[in-house]
Amino acid sequence: MNEKLPAIIGVGCTINPGEPHIDKGFKDLIVEASYAAIDNAHISPKQIDGAVFSYTGEGEVGYGGIAPTLVDALGLSPLPAFTDSANCASAHAAFMQGCDMVESGNYDTVLVAGFGKMTDVIPFENYMLLSSDSLFDYRLGYSHIDSFLLGTEYFAKHHINKDIQYQSLLAVAMSARNYGKYNPEAKYFDKISNYYDLKSLPALGCTLASGEGASAIILTKSVKARRKNKVVVHGRSWLSTSHYVGHRYSDQQIMNNQSKAVSDLAEGLPLKIACNRAYKQANLRPTDIDTVQVYDQLVNQFIALEATGICPIGTAPMFYINGEANVNGKCPVNTDGGNIGRGFASGAASLYGIIELYRQLTNTQQGLKIQNPVHHALSTFMGGYYADAGAVILSKMDGDD
Amino acid sequence: MANQYYDQVSNPILKSSLAIWRNYPSLYRLVGSYCVQCQKSFYPKRLVCPFCHHRELLDKRFSGKGKIVNVEQNNIPQITVIGYRNLTARYMAIIQLIEGPFTIGELVDVGGIKPQAGMPVYSELRRLARDSNQTWQYGIKFIIRDVSNEA
């Protein structure tokens, strides 16, 4: 395996990203998560020679550059630090940049950290609901929620009958809450859910739990990572297309003629391309993936799961119904509870997924343990309903069991 | 004050009216653009053709005629935040204009009809929500109506 590959050596996060934490500001959150990661990596803060931060824009209204504020709050000044923002996938964008920094050879140890802090800034709801072409469709009353609702055309496109729709959404909602029930960092930790309650919820409980939190990861070169439990970033890919949802229906306009089939909101074409590139980079196939993280909300977990190639087009609902996404299933999905069961703190959200995969790979999971051996794990995320899409493959180094 | 602006909502879009003014042709009259070189049409208007990367694009006003490609009913209260408190639930649709480009738009005057993919629609200028400075915003919406035989 290439020794220049970035490796994860430490992870940390704040608990319960599915609720507001009104007693903590964004500095409190980012410091708590970052120092948890530094402690987990068993390094000195002085060893960090670069940082990337992600958020959704909510530091302060119109805040153009939050990196120095965070570097100072972390006591790491002076430090080369950068900021990434890509709607829900902001943290994945930061992770990509962190990997690039390590791979460039210019940095030895990089902190990647993101935060979501929605209750301090009044227009935050706008930040979330925008996630579209702000100059055009948002002005016409189109919000991010409309994208997810239009995405339910997935069921019609694949001729999935009402009964399967119903059962599969319930299976997703229950699976997320069950995973969350055993994860002390999750919104649903120690909470018992039942089908009776889920049936009375919007979308049968398949809506993300929006809240606040921060997550952090320490990256270094593979060759410098400690030998035992070494987890490398084996493959990764990032794609930005368009926020304007109309273009999703004429994919030749945004996908550079890569697909002859017309895309739509029922297909995660940008994520599919990102995953395929990551597989190629890692020389792996979808069947090699032992666990996966996808963006779960309404029907999107089906769309995303199919974009990863882990299950064929139109079969993801049955994948859930048959228990293949469970901890003892063929490919466990969102074992920390995901956006629904763990919680969703926008600017930090996708790093939570990468942290869970790292823990499963190193057998340090906080919640349920995947029963089959885990060697390769895939983290995917999208921002602005596939305006941005990212795929990250983590692998445990051979012979480290 | 409260009675005068009964539909005042927290809609803190911190955007200058100049930004909206600049897009009036697009928001009010369905003005997009077409590429002089490859003749492809675009809506909203583009500055560069994504097919041939030609930069000479001229304005093109679309007819407003089209068909529903995808439609959903949004009754989630969160949309009240962006100014639609009195307008839930709304039908939001993906529309393919007869000239080819796809756009989004709210379906209005739906009556007892259940909007479905394939239905013909026609665009009209309608009132949207109040902006954060209390002025009304306007823009295109779509009504279900077959005007293919109308001039």
Q: Residue B108 maps to which CATH number? A: 2.40.50
State the nearest Cα–Cα gap between B139 and chain A, in angstroms. 6
Judge if B82 and B92 occupy the same domain.
yes
Rounded CA-CA distance A86/A344 in Å is 15
CB-closest option in B51, B104, B128 to A246: B104
> Range with the lowest mean pLDDT among A125-139, A222-236, A310-324, B111-125?
A125-139
Q: Residue A83 maps to which CATH number? A: 3.40.47.10
Q: Give the pLDDT confidence of A361-391 residue by residue, as tens digits.
A: 999 999 999 999 999 999 999 998 899 999 9
Judge if B44 and B91 occupy the same domain.
no
Rounded CA-CA distance B42/B34 in Å is 6
Taking residues A198-226, report their average pLDDT. 92
- Contact of B94 with chain A, judged by CB distance below 8 Å, is answered with yes
CB-CB neighbours of A134 under 10 Å: 14
Judge if B78 and B136 occupy the same domain.
yes
Going by C-beta distance under 8 Å and a sequence separation of 6 or more, which residues neighbour residue B51? A252, A253, B35, B38, B40
Residue A261: strand, helix, or coil = coil
> Range with the lowest mean pLDDT among A46-60, A151-165, B124-138?
B124-138
Inter-CA distances, A154 with A161, A331, B22, Å: 11, 22, 36
**Chain A, nearest residue to B28 by Cα:** A140
Rounded CA-CA distance A172/A198 in Å is 11
Does the structure show a pLDDT above 90 at A265?
no
Q: The sheet that has B41-42: what strands, in order across it?
A: B41-42, B31-35, B57-61
Residue B6 lies in a domain: no
Rounded CA-CA distance A92/A388 in Å is 10
Q: Return the sign of the alpha-carbon dihedral for residues A323, A328, A332, A333.
A: positive
Residue from B68, B94, B126 whose CB has the most chain A CBs within 10 Å, to mutate: B94
Where do runs of H (alpha helix) occur along A232-333? 251-254, 269-282, 300-307, 316-321
Average pLDDT, chain A: 91
Pair of tokens at residue A357: 């995969």
ipTM of the complex: 0.83
Q: What is the pLDDT of residue A60?
A: 67
CB A70 within 8 A of CB A98: no
Average pLDDT, chain B: 83
A399 DSSP assignment: T
Question: A-chain residues within 8 Å CB-CB of B23?
Answer: 135-136, 139
pLDDT > 70 fraction of chain B, expressed in percent and rounded: 79
Rounded CA-CA distance B57/B38 in Å is 10
Q: Return the sign of the alpha-carbon dihedral for residues A275, A287, A298, A340.
A: negative
Inter-CA distances, B27 with A110, B20, B147, Å: 45, 9, 21
Does the structure show a pLDDT above 80 at B7?
no
Residue A398 lies in a domain: no
Residue A249: strand, helix, or coil = helix
HSE value, Cβ hemisphere, 13 Å, CA-based, for A248: 28
- Contact of B33 with chain A, judged by CB distance below 8 Å, is answered with no
Q: Give the pLDDT confidence of A334-358 residue by residue, as tens digits.
A: 999 999 999 999 999 999 999 999 9
Residue A82 lies in a domain: yes
Rounded CA-CA distance A333/A309 in Å is 13
Judge if B25 and B52 occupy the same domain.
yes
Q: What is the pLDDT of residue A37?
A: 98
Q: What is the pLDDT of residue A260?
A: 47
Going by C-beta distance under 8 Å and a sequence separation of 6 or more, which residues neighbour residue B94? A150, A245, A246, A249, A265, B68, B69, B70, B71, B102, B103, B104
Q: What is the pLDDT of residue B83?
A: 67
Q: Do A141 and B94 touch (CB under 8 A)?
A: no
Q: What is the pLDDT of residue A321?
A: 97
Residue A93 lies in a domain: yes
Residue A98 lies in a domain: yes
Q: Do B23 and A141 touch (CB under 8 A)?
A: no
Question: A-chain residues within 8 Å CB-CB of B20?
Answer: 139
Rounded CA-CA distance A98/A110 in Å is 6
Residue B118 lies in a domain: yes
Which residue among B28, B43, B61 closes a domain?
Answer: B61
Q: Residue A214: give the domain boundaries.
A: 6-123+210-220
Does the structure show a pLDDT above 80 at A199?
yes
State the nearest Cα–Cα gap between B25 and chain A, in angstroms. 11
Q: Do B102 and A250 touch (CB under 8 A)?
A: yes
Judge if B127 and B75 occupy the same domain.
yes
CA max distance for chain A: 58
Residue A389 lies in a domain: no
Residue A109 lies in a domain: yes
Q: What is the pLDDT of residue A79?
A: 97
Does the structure show a pLDDT above 80 at A116?
yes
Taking each helix axis as running N to C, give the angle between helix A269-282 and helix A300-307, from 0 to 180 degrees, rounded to the nearest 10: 40
- The conformational region for residue A363 under phi > 0 = left, psi -120 to 50 = alpha, else beta, is left
**CA B85 to the chain's CA centroid:** 18
Q: What confidence tier does B1 reach under pLDDT thresholds 50, 70, 90?
A: very low
State the nearest Cα–Cα gap between B141 and chain A, in angstroms. 8
The strand pair at B65-74 and B136-144 is best described as unpaired
The strand pair at A291-293 and A376-383 is best described as parallel
- Contact of B92 with chain A, judged by CB distance below 8 Å, is answered with yes
Q: What is the pLDDT of residue A154?
A: 94
Residue B2 lies in a domain: no
Q: Residue B104: give the domain boundaries.
A: 63-146
Judge if B78 and B57 occupy the same domain.
no
Taking residues A165-178, report their average pLDDT. 97
Q: Do A246 and B43 touch (CB under 8 A)?
A: yes
Q: Do A252 and B51 touch (CB under 8 A)?
A: yes
Judge if B101 and B140 occupy the same domain.
yes
Q: What is the pLDDT of residue B107?
A: 94
pLDDT > 90 fraction of chain A, expressed in percent and rounded: 74
- Contact of B129 with chain A, judged by CB distance below 8 Å, is answered with yes
Residue from A126, A206, A210 whose CB has the most chain B CBs within 10 Å, to mutate: A126
The candidate with the shortest Cα–Cα distance to A16, out of A159, A209, A206, A176, is A209
Per the structure, the count of domains in chain B is 2
Question: B-chain residues within 8 Å CB-CB of A254?
Answer: 50
Residue A50: strand, helix, or coil = strand
Q: Which of A3-7, A55-59, A104-108, A264-268 has the highest mean pLDDT?
A: A104-108
Taking residues A118-133, report their average pLDDT. 74
Does the structure show a pLDDT above 50 at A401?
no
Residue B18: strand, helix, or coil = helix
Judge if B85 and B37 occupy the same domain.
no
Q: Do A61 and B27 touch (CB under 8 A)?
A: no
* Better pLDDT: A155 or B17: A155
Q: Do A126 and B70 touch (CB under 8 A)?
A: no
Rounded CA-CA distance B95/B108 in Å is 13
- Contact of B14 with chain A, judged by CB distance below 8 Å, is answered with yes
Pair of tokens at residue A22: 């009104």
Q: Do A143 and B78 touch (CB under 8 A)?
A: yes
Per the structure, the count of domains in chain A is 1
Does the structure show a pLDDT above 60 at A14?
yes
Going by C-beta distance under 8 Å and a sequence separation of 6 or more, which residues neighbour residue B45? B26, B31, B32, B33, B57, B59
Taking residues A254-283, report their average pLDDT. 81
**CA A20 to the chain's CA centroid:** 19
Q: What confidence tier does B2 reach under pLDDT thresholds 50, 70, 90?
A: very low
Q: What is the pLDDT of residue B80?
A: 62
Judge if B49 and B68 occupy the same domain.
no
Q: Which of A337-346, B71-80, B110-119 has the highest mean pLDDT?
A: A337-346
CB A119 within 8 A of CB A22: yes
Q: What confidence tier does A258 reach under pLDDT thresholds 50, 70, 90?
A: low
Judge if B79 and B136 occupy the same domain.
yes
Residue B151 lies in a domain: no
**Chain A, nearest residue to B49 by Cα:** A253
- Contact of B43 with chain A, judged by CB distance below 8 Å, is answered with yes
The candidate with the shortest Cα–Cα distance to A112, out of A131, A92, A127, is A92
Pair of tokens at residue A390: 């990212």
Where do runs of H (alpha helix) occur along B14-148? 17-22, 24-29
Q: Return the sign of the alpha-carbon dihedral for residues A387, A57, A137, B95.
A: positive
Question: A-chain residues within 8 Å CB-CB of B27?
Answer: 136, 139-140
Judge if B77 and B141 occupy the same domain.
yes
Judge if B86 and B52 occupy the same domain.
no
Q: What is the pLDDT of residue A13?
A: 98
Pair of tokens at residue B21: 């003014």
**Chain A, nearest residue to B87 by Cα:** A141
The candidate with the shortest Cα–Cα distance to A96, out of A64, A52, A135, A55, is A52
Q: What confidence tier does B96 reach under pLDDT thresholds 50, 70, 90?
A: very high
Pair of tokens at residue A52: 């990337």
